Amino acid sequence: MVEPHTRSDESIADLVRDLSEQTSRLVRDELRLAQAELKQKGTQAGAGLGGLGAAGLLALYGLGALFAAIIAALALAMDVWLAALIVAVVLFIIAAVLAVIGKKQLQKAAPPMPEHTVENVKADIAEVKEARQREH
């Protein structure tokens, strides 16, 4: 025979329902926080990359002019084609060294993470564990 529900059973059921609702709300709030944090970081990164791109483009034009001047100066002592070849080889060597350094730096970089959200979730988990230990 099934016993009728007592008042304490109803309060436990209410607590379980409340816990479920609060957990769902907490997860949704943490996801919204992570989304907002990543959006803010993305906006800042986009603005920074735009400025760096413009600076890089102008620097590239300046380097082209500088290399033309170096080739012209070397052409005073040798044929123009030889001066251009020497400058090109030196540039390719520098590019190879920079590519190796850049690859190493990329390998060291950590993936972007919503740090505040991760900290909040860890704190939430710790609090839930602590609350469960107090109940038992």
Residue 15 lies in a domain: yes
| pLDDT class of 119 with cuts at 50, 70, 90 | confident
Q: Tell me, yes or no, whether 72 lies in a domain.
A: yes
Predicted TM-score (pTM) of this structure: 0.44
Helices (H) and strands (E) in the chain, counts: 3, 0
Q: Which two tokens stand for residue 2?
A: 């099934």
Higher pLDDT, 8 or 74: 74
Is 2 within the bounds of a domain? no
Kindly state whether residue 87 falls inside one of the protein's structural domains: yes
Containing structural domain, residue 34: 7-135
* pLDDT tens-place string over residues 28-64: 988 998 898 888 888 888 888 899 999 999 999 999 9
What is d(CA 136, CA 117) in angstroms, rounded to the nearest whole number?
Answer: 29
pLDDT reported for residue 94? 95
> Does some domain include residue 88?
yes
What angle separates helix 80-108 from helix 7-74, to the nearest 10 degrees?
160
Average pLDDT over residues 115-133: 82
Q: Provide the number of structural domains found in the chain.
A: 1
Contact, 118 vs 31, CB < 8 A? no
Q: Is 1 inside any structural domain?
A: no
Domain-located, residue 66: yes
